[in-house]
A and B are shown apart, each in its own frame.
Chain A
Amino acid sequence: MTVAAELSQRGRSWLRIRAIARRHAYVLARSPHRLFDVTLWPLVDVVLFGSLAAFVGTTSATGTEKVSGYLLAGIVLWHVIYQSQIAMSTGFLEETWTRNLLNMMVTPVREVEYVAGVAMFGMIKLVMGVGVMVIGALAFFSFHVWSLGFGLIPIAVTLLIVGWAISLFVIGLVLRFGTGAEALAWGVMFVLLPLSGVFYPTAALPTVMQPLALALPTTHAFSALRGLVDHHGLNWSQVTIAGAGSVAMMVLAAWFLVRMLTTFRKRGYITRYT
């Protein structure tokens, strides 16, 4: 038997997950432009939306504090989805860009271990990106995100799950349709952002779009966030809807990915990447 038998099945699995996470740490450390995703762009978003809040707040009856709360808390929490989604999607896309997919697929790595490894390192990127935003909001606009309280945690967890679910959909589409589908990794976020009511209630959306917005778990998560900004406490019914929706989305995304991977193997699409 090979030496792999020295470790237990669980031990080997954990070793593989950590190895995948470390591989992506090297990618980040040796691709300085990738650091923009977790440093510069989050900071640019804080400056943009913080400045917008400062301007609108001085000219509106709502007041600077509340507008800052809506815009800055909204953009910081939006980055939870963005960072988790981009970290996972680009983690997989890195394998296709560098023609490394076959190298990975012939190893004993199970699909779930690969996803767990990329997600593990993605959490570090998420902490970096959101950390930069929290510090930026405090330093430039005296807005303390944590002043909103522990209610942020269930909202952030829901958004994290949505981000991962979207990335599994994107990976499934890339497996099925090739790298042309990777534009979705970024494009889908531009659709989700306005529909989710990140900065405003869905009542502000065109009437025709409101039912679609209400079907998204993210809409309910950001609605709960506005409740915190308005000092109304955590709206658990909104969080529950968001949580259930995000879990359902995750299950659907995992099912979709497994189907696409089966098709990938049946049709021999690996030859696209060798």
Chain B
Amino acid sequence: MPGEPVLDARGLIKDYRRTRAVDGIDVVVGAGERVALLGPNGAGKTTTLLMILGVVQPDQGSISICGIDLARDRSRAAECVGFAAGYLPLTERMRVRECLRLYGQLYGLADPGPRIDEGLERFRISHLADAMGTELSSGQRTLIGIVRSTLHRPRLLVLDEPTASLDPDVALRVRTGLVEIAANEGTALLMTSHDMTDVEHVCERVLFLSAGRIVADGTPASIAAAYGHGNLEGVFLHLADDRSSTASQQSDHP
């Protein structure tokens, strides 16, 4: 793992009533590292991300971001993190530039103007600066969301399904932009995706989650090889199949 960890989450456990969503996982991400958190629906990916973002409190375990204990000082830890998700809306009743200015200031930038211009330019969407959020397509909103989450040059960028429902052209722009951000600014990426193309292009390390546990940790190629498949999609289907078989056996033998 390159450099000191920007994210050091240990022994995370989260129960929702009688369901264990996350079952004692460690997620450690080094500076500039690009990590994917994969797994079928209900594997615990989003819960893990929400715990790392400080929005959901783990029942057990500790999370340290840039050496700051999240439970003790969420605000300071959050200054090191950016978050974008395909399902997140843009803040309503604001123009794109106003919205980006708001979030830049929330992250402590007294004058976010130059960073806004730079971010919009990176994703070739400068022409959208004066548009209202409601006038944008879902792809454009996703791109603006990524610009918003990187204005403060976070040490860790967390992405939940960043290319969900995007056309191939916009998805490519997202992938290229993310790799560029990680390379130029040393930002570590932690992302979930159901698109294995995204993962293979962007991430150098993969954590596979199943039923709240990490079942594989390695490079995309090494994991595919370990499971006897040519690519990550095969591994994904293999694990999803295992999980449904286990669930079926459990329902047969209560």
Contact = CB atoms under 8 A, between A and B. Distances in A.
B83 A31 contact: no
Interface residues of B, number: 41
Contacts of A98: 89, 91-92
B50 A108 contact: no
Interface stretch (B34-42, B99-107, B197-205, B237-245): B99-107
Contacts of B54: 105-106
A12 B153 CA distance: 16
A107 B89 CA distance: 15
B183 to A, nearest CB: 18
B102 A23 contact: yes
> What's the dominant secondary structure at chain A's contact region?
helix
B110 interface: yes
A3 B106 contact: no
A105 B91 CA distance: 13
Contact of B53 (A1, A3, A5, A106): A106
Contacts, number: 109
Contacts of B76: 108
Contact of A15 (B55, B85, B108): B108
Interface in B100-125: 101-103, 105-110
B80 interface: yes
Interface stretch (A144-152, A230-238, A260-268): A260-268
B88 A3 contact: no
Contacts of B106: 16, 19-20, 107-109
Interface string B173-186: 00000000000000
A7 interface: yes
Interface in A1-27: 1-7, 11-12, 15-16, 18-20, 22-23, 26-27
A207 interface: no
B107 A4 contact: yes
Contacts of A105: 53-55
Given A266-B57, A270-B55, A106 B94 contact: no
B12 interface: no
A100 interface: yes
B81 interface: yes
A103 B88 contact: yes
Interface residues of A, number: 38
Interface string A72-83: 000000000000
Interface string B57-96: 1010000001000000011101111010101110111100
A268 B47 contact: yes
A181 interface: no
A2 B80 contact: yes
Given A15-B108, A108-B107, A109-B75, A265 B152 contact: no
Nearest to B154: A2
A215 B20 CA distance: 46
A2 B107 CA distance: 9
B64 to A, nearest CB: 15
B98 interface: yes
A102 interface: yes
A107 B92 contact: no
A265 B57 contact: yes
Given A22-B102, A265-B57, 10 more contacts: A1-B66, A2-B108, A12-B108, A23-B91, A23-B102, A26-B98, A30-B93, A105-B54, A106-B78, A262-B57
Interface of A: 1-7, 11-12, 15-16, 18-20, 22-23, 26-27, 30-31, 98-100, 102-103, 105-110, 262, 265-268, 270, 274
8 contacts: A2-B108, A3-B152, A5-B108, A20-B106, A100-B89, A108-B78, A108-B79, A268-B47
Interface of B: 14, 16, 47, 50, 53-57, 59, 66, 74-76, 78-81, 83, 85, 87-89, 91-94, 98, 101-103, 105-110, 152-155
